[in-house]
Amino acid sequence: MRVDVGVNGTRYVDEVEPRLLLVHYLREVRGLKATNVGCDSSSCGACTVLVDGESVKSCTTLAAQADGREVTTVEGLAESDGSMHSMQQAFREEHALQCGFCTPGMVMASVGLLSENPKPTEEEIRLALEGNLCRCTGYHNIVRAVRRAAGTLDEDGANA
């Protein structure tokens, strides 16, 4: 079947199998390999992307469902001048990634969170990221990164 999908600001028309998952469309058809597959039960969130600005798990979305919509992956998140998005910058400054496998999904879920709730508390961040699993960071620095991006991280770094 034919899909017409916006990916990181450019529109593409592709012929795909009806059962093709959005994550495989992004990775294999569009060659955008940053979005990862970490599970097969929609639990880990490594595949999280934005569809029309809302974070979704692309491993349980069909490419067909993205027809006529705009998908943003971590590759498309940088500012227009090429510098990192404030969330990417915050992840770097807070050491919110180690092996990096969950990171694209974690960043996109965090961007999605702030678009809905610009000043989340620590508890709200933890709840919002429940569907994004990380085995390296213990989430400590991911939570700090989201707070940094939201502008709610104290100067002294205290987790008050």
Partner 1 sequence: MAAGTSILGTRVLRTEDPSFLTRGAVYTDDIVDDRLTGAVYVTFVRSPVAHGRIVSIDKTAALAAEGVVDVVTAEDLEGVGLLPPPPGSAQGKQMRRSILAADVVRFVGEPVAAVVTQERYQGEDAAELVGVDIEPLPAVVDPREAAKDEVLLFPDAGTNTTYTSDRESDPTMFDDCEVVVTQEVINQRVAAVPLEVRAMAAAAGADGRLVVWAPSQGAQGFKSTIVRVLKQDEDQVHVVTPEVGGGFGAKIFPDAEHLLVPWLAKRLDRPVRWVETRSENLLAMPQGRGQIQTVTIGGRRDGTVQAYRLDVLQDSGCGGMASVLASLTALMAPGVYDIAKVEANARSVATNTAPVAAFRGAGRPEATAAVERAMDLFAAEIGMDPADVRRKNVVAPDKFPFRTSMGALYDSGEYAAALDKVLAGAGYEDLRREQQQRRDRGDVVQLGLGMSTYVEITGGGLEASGDDENATVEIHADGSATVLTGTSPHGQGHATAWAMLVSEQTGIPLEKVTVKHGDTDLIPKGGGTGGSRSLQLGGSAVFTTTQQLVELAKERAAALLEANPDDLVVDTENAGLGVVGTPGTSVSFADLAAKEELRAEGVFAAPGPTYPFGAHLAAVEVDTESGKVVLRRLVTVDDAGTVLNPLLFDGQRHGGLAQGVAQALFEEVLYDEDGNPQTTTFADYPIVSATELPSFELLTMETPTSYNPLGAKGIGEAATIGSTPAVQNAVVDALAHLGVRHVDMPLTPERVWSAVTAAGEGNA
Report the interface residues with partner 1, using CB under 8 A: 17, 19, 24, 27, 31, 33-41, 43-44, 46, 74-75, 77-78, 84, 88, 91-93, 95, 97-104, 107, 122, 125-127, 129-144, 159
| Residue whose pair of structure tokens reads 């987790």 in the numeric block | 159
CB of 104 to partner 1, least distance (A): 5
- Cα 147 to Cα 118: distance, rounded to the nearest angstrom: 10
CB 99, min distance to partner 1, A: 3
Q: CB nearer to partner 1: give 5 or 132.
A: 132
Q: Which is nearer to partner 1, 61 or 88 (CB)?
A: 88
Of 97, 40, 42, nearest to 74 (Cα)?
97
Least separation in angstroms between residue 115's CB and partner 1 is 18
> Which C-beta is closer to partner 1: that of 49 or that of 51?
49
- Smallest distance, Å, CB 157 to partner 1? 10
Whole-number Å distance between alpha carbons of 149 and 151: 5
Q: How far apart are CA 65 and CA 81, in angstroms?
A: 31
Task: Count Cα atoms within 13 angstroms, Cβ side, for 81.
Answer: 2
Q: Which is nearer to partner 1, 68 or 104 (CB)?
A: 104
Q: What does R_g of the chain's alpha carbons equal in angstroms?
A: 16
